[in-house]
Amino acid sequence: MNTTLQTTIRNEIRLSGVGVHSGDRATVRLQPAGADAGIVFVSVANGGEIEIPALHSSVVSTARCTVLGNERGSIATVEHLMAAIAGLGIDNLLVEVDGPEMPIMDGSSAPFVEAILAVGIRAISAPRRYIKVLKPVRVQEGGASGELLPFDGRRVELEIRFDDELIGRQSYAFDFAGGSFARDVSRARTFGFLRDVETMWAKGLALGASLDNTLVVGEGEVVNPEGLRYADEFVRHKVLDAIGDLSLAGAPILGSYRSVRGGHRINAAVVSALMADPDAWSWSYGQPSGRRSAAHADLGARLPAAAYGPEVS
Is 241 known to sit in a ligand binding site?
yes
For residue 171, give the H/E element and its range: strand 169-175
Check whether 106 is labelled as a binding-site residue: no
Cα angle 41, 28, 155 (rounded to 5 degrees) comes to: 65
- Rounded Cα–Cα distance for residues 253 and 257 (Å): 9
3-state secondary structure of 215: strand
Known catalytic membership, residue 21: no
Catalytic residue among 21, 56, 264, 296: 264
For the chain, how many residues are written? 313
Dihedral angle computed from the Cα positions of residues 21, 261, 244 and 155, in that order, rounded to the nearest 10 degrees:
-160
Which residues 6+ apart lie within 8 Å of 310 measured at CB?
226, 227, 228, 229
| Closest-CA residue to 7 (of 290, 288, 287, 216) | 287
Binding site for Zn(2+): residue ranges?
80, 237, 241
Binding site: residue ranges?
80, 237, 241
Which residues are marked as active site? 264
